[in-house]
Amino acid sequence: MTKYAPILLFVYNRPEHLKQTMETLQNNTLAAESKLYIYSDAARKDTDEAAVAEVRNYIHKITGFKSITLIEREKNWGLARNIIDGVTTQVNRFGRVIVMEDDLITAPYFLQFMNDALETYKDEPRVGHIQACDFTNDPSLPDTFLIKFTGSWGWATWDRAWKYFNPDGKELLRQLEERNLTRRFDLNGNYPFTRMLRRQIEGKNNSWAIRWNASLFLADILSLNTGRSLIQNIGFDGSGTNCGGGGLYSSTLWMKPLPIEKWSPIEENEKAREAFARYYHRTNCFMAKAIRRIKRTLKGDFGA
């Protein structure tokens, strides 16, 4: 009998986003055969309490999965601590997990793809992460490819890979600098991942994802990414913990099954890496940032 990976869904105070997430997840081909664990964080401030209560009322009514387990935090843990604890607990229990947040719309074959990929690469030690979102919209990318980059929107991993996760950002930065890897880590200087890590160390962000990215990068472990997006992020409306405005990471859902290819040899796809570097160069150069800021200001959006 096939055992499907449990789905870990992390929710907070966005009931309308969550409803869209759940509707599409319930429509996945393997939803009824998958266990769902919902981690609901407690309100960080008084003004969040009503929305958190609405979310908790909603999750108690969810159906359509093999089983549903609710973990309602009594105090506010914050996204990073919540995810690190939830992933650690469940991946050690089940050996593999699929991880989602409450602002992700899934294509109907998302769960099928993730489970197929987890099974196909289960014994490949150099592949430690599965990512199902493509926001580059680059037609040169193949259906799947291997890359040293870990996206955090609709992902999966195994217990053998999660063991590499190092929550100590300072130690990760030390190793990147000592081994002269910061430029490579930053996709040849096209995106400031190293700066994100420094800001995490300084307490200016609380990103678990940058530490996961750095942990696997330093261990020379690859991610299996999709060139056809099975995930759409709807959280870039200023409502999320780490999401500002703008359609910078928009993607079109791939509505058909996405086949898994077992790549050999197991090595990074340099052309895919170049595609990511081109995308980040185009969207993060000084001129692109200036134009986005002007457009947001004209619309009355004074956020990040």
The three-state (H, E, C) secondary structure of 16-29, written as one string: HHHHHHHHHHHCCC
- Buried b / exposed e over 165-193, threshold 16 CB at 10 Å, is bbeebeebbeebeeeeebeebbbeebbbb
What is the residue extent of each domain of the chain?
Answer: 7-164+221-299
Sign, CA dihedral 24-30-31-35, equals negative
Q: How confident is the model at residue 162 (pLDDT cuts 50, 70, 90)?
A: very high
Helix segments in 133-236, DSSP class H: 159-162, 169-178, 182-185, 193-201, 208-218
Q: DSSP H helical segments within the chain, as ranges?
A: 15-26, 49-59, 79-94, 110-120, 159-162, 169-178, 182-185, 193-201, 208-218, 270-284, 286-298
pLDDT (mean) for 34-61: 98
Read off the tokens for 87: 């992933």
Q: What is the pLDDT of the chain when averaged over all its residues?
A: 92
| Helices (H) then strands (E): counts for the chain | 11, 10
Q: What is the pLDDT of residue 295?
A: 53
Asked if residue 245 has pLDDT above 60, the reply is: no
Q: How far is CA 207 from CA 11, 101, 155, in A?
A: 16, 14, 16
Question: What's the pLDDT at 143?
Answer: 97
Task: Identify the band that residue 242 occupies on the pLDDT scale cut at 50, 70 and 90.
Answer: very low
Share of the chain above pLDDT 90, in %: 86
What average pLDDT does this structure show over 98-115?
Answer: 98
- CATH dotted code for 7-164+221-299: 3.90.550.10
Measured between alpha carbons, how far is 118 from 188 in angstroms, rounded to an integer? 29
The residue-averaged pLDDT of 43-52 equals 98
What does pTM read for this prediction?
Answer: 0.91
- Cα gap 156→228, rounded to integer Å: 16
